[in-house]
């Protein structure tokens, strides 16, 4: 249970093994995307390294070179031949090829809308009527998402994959946002609201509208100042 700032800086955490509603896209789609990235990324680095370390002394497609001297190309004989073909056909434009292929792979994997904006959007979390309304949120150093639930009486933590990891029960119905603070960003500050509550609800929630602080056991991420 989170407590008002003036009372305590520690809270009781309630674990939750329940998972959020599954995302619209199946895990298989994410698996195939990850496999494609694993295959494409090393090849692009291999291609770039082969181009950068190209040497005319190595045997290639457009010249014989030396088959007895040590190879200069880090890609071996295949990399030497590949770099020679690309440089012979396209010149120094070949050095842009890994970048172009990387961009094409990114678009193919993540998609683009017809207007050129990133597409292939996927649902990360879904909530039911009894969960309240997700309001302010923040991210911790482990990449997990903390969400304050308006009319949900709680703040929840979700893993990067969307798993409901834990819940901080609040003494107020309407927590509005959360942010990490403190010297080492080890404290979670939670704001709340009393707007829209009738007299009976306010009597039940005397701390509604207050600021709360908890120590969740994980640190936050320092903000990067805007340079503009």
Closest-CA residue to 36 (of 114, 86, 119, 101): 101
- Reported residue count of the chain is 228
Query: How far, rounded to the nearest angstrom, does the alpha carbon of residue 76 sit from its chain's CA centroid?
Result: 36
- Residue 149 parent element (H or E): strand 145-150
Whole-Å CA distances, 31 to 26, 27, 49, 144, 164:
9, 6, 28, 20, 21
Contact 191, 5 (CB under 8 A): no
Catalytic residue positions, numbered: 135
């Amino acid at each position: 249970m989170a407590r008002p700032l003036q009372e305590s800086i520690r809270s009781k955490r309630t674990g939750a093994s329940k998972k959020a509603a599954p995302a619209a896209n199946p895990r298989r789609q994410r698996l195939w995307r990850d496999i494609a990235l694993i295959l494409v990324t090393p090849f692009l680095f291999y291609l770039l390294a082969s181009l950068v370390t190209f040497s005319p002394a190595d045997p290639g497609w457009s010249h014989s070179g030396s088959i007895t001297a040590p190879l200069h190309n880090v890609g071996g004989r295949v990399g030497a031949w590949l770099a020679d073909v690309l440089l012979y056909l396209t010149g120094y434009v070949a050095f842009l090829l890994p970048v172009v292929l990387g961009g094409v792979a990114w678009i193919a994997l993540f998609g683009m809308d017809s207007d050129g904006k990133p597409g292939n959007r996927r649902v990360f979390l879904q909530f039911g009527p009894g969960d309240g309304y997700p309001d302010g949120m923040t991210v911790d150093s482990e990449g997990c998402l903390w969400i304050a639930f308006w009319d949900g009486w709680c703040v929840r933590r979700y893993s990067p994959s969307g798993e409901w990891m834990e819940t901080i029960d609040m003494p107020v119905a309407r927590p509005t946002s959360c942010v990490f603070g403190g010297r080492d960003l080890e404290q979670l500050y939670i704001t709340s609201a009393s707007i829209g509550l009738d007299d009976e609800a306010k009597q039940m929630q005397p701390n509604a509208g207050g600021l709360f602080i908890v120590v969740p056991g994980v640190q936050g991420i320092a903000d990067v100042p805007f340079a503009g």
